[in-house]
Structure 1
Amino acid sequence: MATTTLPPSETVAEAPEILEFPDNFLLIDLCGEHDRHLADIELKTGVQILRRGNQLKIHGEDAARREAAEILTALYERLEAGKSVEAADIDREVRMGGSDRETGARAGDQLDLLPDARVEIKTRKKIIEPRTAAQKAYVRSLFENELAFGIGPAGTGKTYLAVAVGVNMFIGGHVDRIILSRPAVEAGEKLGYLPGDMKEKVDPYMQPLYDALNDFLPGKQVTKLIEEKKIEIAPLAFMRGRTLSNAFVVLDEAQNATTMQMKMFLTRLGEGSRMVITGDRSQVDLPRGQQSGLQDAERLLKSIDKISFDYFTAKDVVRHPLVAAIIEAYDADEAR
């Protein structure tokens, strides 16, 4: 791909950025069906993009033109590498920013973080890429540290990315099993007694973890691995008395663990294992007056080497854009 020189008839102030793409088939994929990718980039950057043959003309303010050009260039390079371009990839490029695109890191092999490459997590079903700088730093922490904390609001990918890294390490032979846990605490309402055996009673609390696994592994393989105890999904209370060796362990919704439960869980860490604790300090569902174990752990463990803490904000929300706006509204109200 090359950037052409500006026509002499265009003034510097209003001259568009012109990008030329040698492969017309890749350019079609870059533009998307009915140019929907271009429309998305226009909306996110505030530019106008005109397609002429194998060229794209970008009109707008200088900074916006440069940003759009960087996004288009990065997406075209992705297509040249044999990957697809989806709406999520555009969103990621917009969020990551130009300087961050140049200094990413690939996390495809355990601890083999290559500078000047993109962070990627390979699973059986797809490749996962962080969409924000905070997510990228978090993924690096998961590969580099035996104990890592991810703290921030809902929708920022804390659990999703942790499970993806766990699957990556499992299929790469770095751990023998995956253990996913969360406190069985109801979110502000009493559901009463649930019918069925123990698994049927706790499964509603564990469903988000099943959802994440099914995103990364074929459904039949998930079922088989659970039957073989290679994957365990269990309430936090089931961790007592165990030593978790050669495992990738995730504690989700850790803000709902009590101080004693958190201490119990953290001391389960065994040889060859990695442990990730995720939580949202603003969504504690413990009884009034009971201290969150996540807050205590953060206060007590921050100074210990090889334990990482990564934080997310509403800017890292990767669900519906309204979710970020809702979180910001609640945060602003609490700050008054």
Structure 2
Amino acid sequence: MTDSAVGMGAAGLDSRVIHFDSADQMVQALGANDEALALIEGAFPGISLHVRGDELSITGPATDVGRTASLIAEVRTLAVNRTPVTPQVLEQLLFMLKTQGAAKPAEVLSMNILSSRGRTIRPKTVNQKSYVEAIDSHTIVFGIGPAGTGKTYLAMAKAVQALQHKEVNRIILTRPAVEAGERLGFLPGTLNDKIDPYLRPLYDALHDMMDPDSIPRLMAAGTIEVAPLAYMRGRTLNDAFIILDEAQNTTPEQMKMFLTRLGFGSRMVVTGDVTQVDLPGGTSSGLRIVSEILRGVEDVAFSRLEATDVVRHRLVGDIVSAYSRWDESQRASPDGRRPAGRGPRREH
């Protein structure tokens, strides 16, 4: 694809013509019915787009013309890499170009981790790509961020990928069995019934990434293990990809116990959200202090994800940001009282 500037017109307008290599390439980038063009014009209302043959002309304010040309270049890169250009992908590209300072966001969105059951799992933000790259290059990685940022899901995808590539012999998934206001003893059923609700999100992610019929067989063989954190005590975990989820609900002692389970040929990913601690009052979170303890330790990486990395419904990112602002106001209040009209105070 090439582009050429037509020149500056009246009232600060600019024009640019983008030449695609072929009609097929244009269809892959813009959609059979030019669906992408309507979304781009909606994002840049001052822009006018016209298609003729293998050429796309862009007219409008100079700044918007440049941004639109950059966006279309990224869309073409996705099409060349066989990444489907859906409305959601276009919205993510726009968001990354506008807010995350991504020089080449298409490189993020075309980084495939795992293909399963007709869908491909890939990072969707710059920070997510950095997180995945940290998992590739470090033995222990901490993924810290709010709900919906993909920290657990991407770690699970990397674990399944490592198992498929025979880089490890097994996957071990674990969580502390702690939730706000609940205790295991008050839940009905056997011990397995009691702990199942805490581990269910890990099972759900596995079912997204593997043939569901193979999971019971792999679990029976010990190739995949999903267990509460307490089951890790006293073990040495060799040749395994180990994920500790909801790590904000570990005590410092539990975090040390988990990290020292690392054996030869193994990798660990620890995920959690330090703003959602469900430990009893006065108990320190092992995830909150571990970055201070392990600062400077070789082959350990800390990846931090933000509200801008939320890849669930758009409102989830807005909700995360609103709660962060509210928490900041609580910490800033000199007497610890919540400002009037701000909602109930959350205890950590």
For residue 73 of structure 2, what is the amino acid of its counterpart? T
Distance 1:24 1:242, change over 3 A: same
Aligned to 2:302, what secondary structure does the other structure show? strand
Aligned to 2:104, what secondary structure does the other structure show? helix
> Residue in 2 aligned with 1:164?
157
> Residue in 2 aligned with 1:75?
75
Contact map agreement 1:269 1:275 (CA 8 A) in 2: yes
> Residue in 1 aligned with 2:197?
204
Question: 1:2, CA displacement in angstroms?
Answer: 2.2
Provide structure 2 residue ranges, at least 5 long, that are not aligned to the other structure: 330-348
Structure 2 CA distance for aligned equivalents of residues 326 and 209 of structure 1: 24
Question: 1:317, CA displacement in angstroms?
Answer: 1.1
Structure 2 CA distance for aligned equivalents of residues 22 and 311 of structure 1: 40
Question: 1:171, CA displacement in angstroms?
Answer: 0.6
Contact map agreement 1:123 1:168 (CA 8 A) in 2: no
CA-based RMSD: 2.7
1:135 and 2:122 are equivalent in the alignment: no
Structure 2 CA distance for aligned equivalents of residues 91 and 9 of structure 1: 28
Stretch moving more, 282-291 or 180-189: 180-189
Question: 1:194, CA displacement in angstroms?
Answer: 3.5
Stretch moving more, 78-87 or 165-174: 78-87
Q: Write out per-residue CA displacement over residues 186-210 of structure 1, whole angstroms, 9 at most, x where no aligned residue.
A: 2445687434443333222112212
> Residue in 1 aligned with 2:114?
122
Aligned ranges 1:37-48 → 2 under 5 Å? 37-44=36-43, 48=47
> Residue in 2 aligned with 1:23?
22
Contact map agreement 1:18 1:58 (CA 8 A) in 2: yes
> Residue in 2 aligned with 1:261?
254
Q: Write out per-residue CA displacement over residues 283-330 of structure 1, whole angstroms, 9 at most, x where no aligned residue.
A: 001111111010121221122121101111111111111111111112
Contact map agreement 1:46 1:64 (CA 8 A) in 2: no
Q: Write out per-residue CA displacement over residues 123-174 of structure 1, whole angstroms, 9 at most, x where no aligned residue.
A: 4444332222111111111010000101111111111111111111111111
> Residue in 2 aligned with 1:328?
321
> Residue in 2 aligned with 1:285?
278
1:100 and 2:99 are equivalent in the alignment: no
Aligned to 2:303, what secondary structure does the other structure show? strand
Question: 1:223, CA displacement in angstroms?
Answer: 3.0
Q: Write out per-residue CA displacement over residues 178-229 of structure 1, whole angstroms, 9 at most, x where no aligned residue.
A: 1111111124456874344433332221122122222222222233322222
Structure 2 CA distance for aligned equivalents of residues 45 and 207 of structure 1: 43
Structure 1 CA distance for aligned equivalents of residues 213 and 45 of structure 2: 45
Structure 2 CA distance for aligned equivalents of residues 75 and 142 of structure 1: 27
Question: 1:77, CA displacement in angstroms?
Answer: 2.5
Structure 1 CA distance for aligned equivalents of residues 63 and 166 of structure 2: 45
> Residue in 1 aligned with 2:346?
none
Structure 2 CA distance for aligned equivalents of residues 60 and 43 of structure 1: 13
TM-score by length of 1: 0.86
Stretch moving more, 63-72 or 183-192: 183-192
Structure 2 CA distance for aligned equivalents of residues 36 and 162 of structure 1: 33
Distance 1:10 1:230, change over 3 A: same
Stretch moving more, 200-209 or 271-280: 200-209
> Residue in 1 aligned with 2:13?
14
Contact map agreement 2:172 2:242 (CA 8 A) in 1: yes
TM-score by length of 2: 0.83
Aligned ranges 1:191-230 → 2 under 5 Å? 193-230=186-223
> Residue in 2 aligned with 1:52?
51
Distance 1:206 1:102, change over 3 A: closer
Provide structure 1 residue ranges, at least 5 long, that are not aligned to the other structure: 107-117
> Residue in 1 aligned with 2:268?
275
Distance 1:202 1:191, change over 3 A: closer
Structure 1 CA distance for aligned equivalents of residues 72 and 305 of structure 2: 27
Distance 1:175 1:2, change over 3 A: same
Query: Out of 129, 132, 155, which is 2:148 matched to?
Result: 155
For residue 122 of structure 1, what is the amino acid of its counterpart? L
Q: How much identity, in percent, do the aligned residues show? A: 40
Question: 1:5, CA displacement in angstroms?
Answer: 4.4
Stretch moving more, 89-98 or 282-291: 89-98
Q: Post-superposition, which runs of at least 4 consecutive aligned residues in structure 1 deviate over 6 A? A: none
Question: 1:67, CA displacement in angstroms?
Answer: 2.7
Aligned to 2:103, what secondary structure does the other structure show? helix
Question: 1:34, CA displacement in angstroms?
Answer: 5.2
Structure 2 CA distance for aligned equivalents of residues 127 and 93 of structure 1: 17
Contact map agreement 1:185 1:256 (CA 8 A) in 2: yes
Distance 1:310 1:69, change over 3 A: same
